[in-house]
Amino acid sequence: MATSKKHLGKYVDPRTDFGIKFYFGREENKILLIEFLNSLFEGEKVIVDLKYKTVEHDGDQEDMRRVVFDLHCIGSDGEIFIVEFQQLFQEFFKDRAVFYTSRLINKQLAKGKKGNDYHLPEVYFVGILEFDMNGGSNVALSRETDRPYFYDVALCDKHTHEVFYDKLGYKMVSLPVFNKQPKELETIMDQWLYLLKHLSTMDKLPSFLDKRIFGRIFAIGEIGKLKEEDLMSYEASLKQRRDAESVFNSALRSGHAKGKAEGRAEGRAEGLAEGLAEGEHKKAIESATKMLKNGFEVKMISEILGLTIEEVEKLK
């Protein structure tokens, strides 16, 4: 066992599917998710408790697309939080975020309910992204903000910039764009983002991180303390992460994603159409079949290849 752990580092990497759920998705560790969310809200609201809810939601009709969240929680005041960790660039990630929130909002209205009672709970989408929101371009650096790594989005009046509707929000952080050094960490959010980005290379809790908040992560995150089944799941998650990056990069090199890249660079819909036309969908299906045989999760395959979850599941 010791030999297999040697190459893994000392702490579970939160930038893996296993890691994000290990630290944030377990009832006994939910204080970590509460603290992380509060750091993003920066006093805008204070979350005191959370309840974990089902992560799978079928459509209201048979032909509607099913959605699977990474984490789905309800706050003590009834607010809804969707927490998503996205490893690889996805062309329509913003569309996906809006789709996820709209699906949950739609489910809040009881069918056949009379009257005009459209009172809705607060719904928030939180994204932890392992890519630049601008697809690797330098546009993010030109945003008029001293925090180009943080997107804090709400429905606003375009002229006055006043919030038009305060019960729907999107808070997303782009870890590759976050480049602050320890002496530059000014807020708890800064500390969280530094930890998420660098925990896998640390060997102890550094003095510049708040011990009261982050002490638990270092206490539970030691790979040497993992149960055997958790260690196996973590190693599989690391392998999936590396394999997914390899598949994605190979697709870019072979031209599978060429049309998508051109579409991003040129801002033209026809670039995307060219990339998916002339048998590209068939290639994606073939790749998905191979990935399923190698143990990839359906959700990850869907995100990498641009197929729907339903299309991937039919290949099982």
Global confidence as pTM = 0.77
pLDDT of residue 139: 45
**What is the model's pLDDT at position 185?**
97
Buried b (16+ CB within 10 A) or exposed e, 44-68: ebebeebeeeebebeeeeeeeeebe
Structure tokens given for 30:
């939910």
Give which of 201, 200, 217, 225 is closest to 15, Cα–Cα: 200
Q: What is the pLDDT along the chain (316 residues), one digit of tens a residue?
A: 444 455 688 999 999 999 999 999 999 999 999 999 999 999 999 999 999 998 887 655 555 667 888 999 999 999 999 999 998 887 788 999 999 999 888 877 655 555 566 788 899 999 999 988 876 544 444 567 889 999 999 999 999 999 999 999 999 999 999 999 999 999 999 999 999 999 999 999 999 999 999 999 999 999 999 999 999 999 988 888 887 777 766 666 665 555 455 545 444 444 444 444 446 677 777 777 877 776 677 777 776 676 777 788 888 7
Report the alpha-carbon distance of residue 258 to residue 262 in Å, rounded.
6
Alpha carbon separation from 129 to 187, 235, 276, 296 (Å, rounded): 19, 21, 25, 20
The burial of 244, by beta-carbon neighbours within 10 Å (0-12 exposed, 13-18 middle, 19 or more buried), is given as: buried
| 19-73 confidence digits (pLDDT tens) | 999 999 999 999 999 999 999 999 999 999 999 998 887 655 555 667 888 999 9
Distance from chain centroid for Cα 86: 4
Q: Which residues pair with 94 in a beta bridge?
A: none
CA-to-CA separations, 142 to 176, 178, 181, 261, in angstroms, rounded:
16, 14, 20, 21
Report the distance separating Cα 205 and Cα 219, nearest Å. Answer: 9
Nearest to 16 by CA among 175, 135, 179, 191: 175
